[in-house]
Amino acid sequence: MINKVVANVHEALLGIDDGMTLMLGGFGLCGIPENSIAELVQKGISNLTCISNNAGVDDFGLGLLLQQKQIKKMISSYVGENDEFERQMLNGELEVDLIPQGSLAERCRAGGAGIPAFFTPAGYGTEVAEGKEVRVFNGKSHILEDALTADFAIVKAWKGDAAGNLVYKATARNFNPMMAMAGKITIAEVEELLPVGTLDPNEIHTPGIFVQRIFQGELFEKRIEQRTLRNK
């Protein structure tokens, strides 16, 4: 019987070293691998290239790694609510590759599917297109975008089983499924770790073949980035 369960987050992150490229799932603070990010901070791993939609906020998510100057380069789609991200980028302390959000998602998906590159109209005529091949399809200019892969992909799921099958909850799915496909080694932290056979096969979002390690996370804060209350 396949069993990809590891005892804890410390064991899950073994092999991640300075200078590696990591993909981290999530969108803002939704669906981020909180336990794994905290462990990376604790381990002091540095000089990282991080591929993520954005970098959380100053004191949570990838913002914690930015505070400790553990990230050398961010590949993401926007700065978001992170003042430290903005400060480091503007001061030249952090290398940043900003990519249109749809292109970022597709570059990750392509990496997982073994597609080396693809053409897209997104970014044509802007700084995004600088230095990239341009072709015209159906009268419209497209730029060539390379696929993205990583040494490790770290994702967060709602439920998972010992074989690595994953189910995400609502909008927390976001970038997690495509990043799970694109890591040489994929680590999943889950809220509920279940025996094989418990999950309905029709509800599985990421098949276990893409996941090498899975562990039960603890104390998920699930912080809300912007809380809006309606006046009564």
DSSP states along 30-92: BT--HHHHHHHHHHT--SEEEE-S---BTTBTTHHHHHTT-EEEEEES--TT-HHHHHHHHTT
Q: Answer for the pair 181, 11: CB distance below 8 angstroms, yes or no.
A: no
Whether residue 71 has pLDDT greater than 80: yes
* Domains along the sequence of the chain with CATH: 9-116+147-216 (3.40.1080.10)
Average pLDDT over residues 71-87: 89
At 145-183, the pLDDT tens digits run 999 999 999 999 999 999 999 999 999 999 999 999 999
* Ordered DSSP codes for 1-41: ----B-SSHHHHTTT--TT-EEEE--BTTBT--HHHHHHHH
Whether residue 232 has pLDDT greater than 80: no
Phi, psi for 127 (deg, rounded to 5): -60, -25
Return the number of other C-beta atoms located less than 10 Å from residue 97's C-beta. Answer: 14
Query: What's the pLDDT score for residue 167?
Result: 98
Average pLDDT over residues 91-104: 95
Total-model pTM: 0.93
Q: Answer for the pair 26, 53: CB distance below 8 angstroms, yes or no.
A: yes
